[in-house]
Structure 1
Amino acid sequence: MAAEVSQQLWTDFHTVVNMTSRQLEEWLRTRDAGEDAEGLPDQAGPLTGRRVLAVLGKRRTDLTDEDAAVMRRVVAEVRAKRSVELDPKAGDPGWRHRLMSIGHDPLKPG
């Protein structure tokens, strides 16, 4: 069943998620690649990252309550992490990688 997603949430989500669905999908696959890589590429990456990817593939009118919850969580998480550290520091790839796993590349020009 479609959820009622406000224009504000839609805009906020698409502002903080600054990676395209293709970029995010490639990032999630890259992060999970390795000797013990999973056999199902569509299940690569953390659950929240996969849910962000699913939201990016939907129209606003097709979003579920669960999608809206993911959107709110991602907006809050990106804003919280970016307010603590507005400018990424060289040598801190973990911070950037955590944000990229939910669709936000802090090094990408705004």
Structure 2
Amino acid sequence: MSKDIKSVIDEFYSSVNMTPKELASWLETEESQSVGQKKNDDESIGHKSGKQIIGLLKKKKDTYTDDDLSEMKKVVSYIHRHLAQQPEGDVEHTRWRYSLKNWGHDPIKS
């Protein structure tokens, strides 16, 4: 495995802090489905991505495809961009947090 590929995988795993089970449970909630950009009243981009993230987390690290690595880069990029936009005050019940959780990152999880 090349150094570049390893760094993409490491960054993905350090950015995504929810387990596949936590993320799957979250994606079932009304809050999860209430946020994100939607096309044609369809499922939001983040919600779809959450499902893909579950698949990535369940895969063996040495079986990732180029498409998987591309998705991981997209997830890391989104999480980092979104974290930089943290609103003031308590974020527990905010659309900002809900959106991040759709992408596998819970900002208040220790």
Q: If the length of structure 2 is used for normalisation, what is the TM-score?
A: 0.75
| Counterpart residue identity of residue 57, structure 1 | K
Superimposed CA distance per residue, residues 14-56 of structure 1 (whole angstroms, 9 cap, x where no aligned partner): 01100011100100112468xxxxxxxxx9x821111111000
- Structure 1 residues 88 and 79, CA, compared in 2 at 3 Å: closer, same or farther? farther
Matches within 5 A, 1:1-110: 6-31=5-30, 46-85=47-86, 89-90=89-90, 93-109=94-110
| Counterpart residue identity of residue 90, structure 2 | A
8 Å CA contact retained: 1:88, 1:96: no
8 Å CA contact retained: 1:28, 1:101: yes
**Which runs of at least 4 in structure 1 moved beyond 4 Å after TM superposition?**
none
User: Aligned partners of 1:77 and 1:89: how far apart in 2?
Assistant: 22
Q: What is the percentage of aligned positions where both structures have the same residue?
A: 28
CA RMSD of aligned residues (A): 2.6
User: Structure 2: any 5+ residue segments left out of the alignment?
Assistant: 34-42
Q: If the length of structure 1 is used for normalisation, what is the TM-score?
A: 0.75
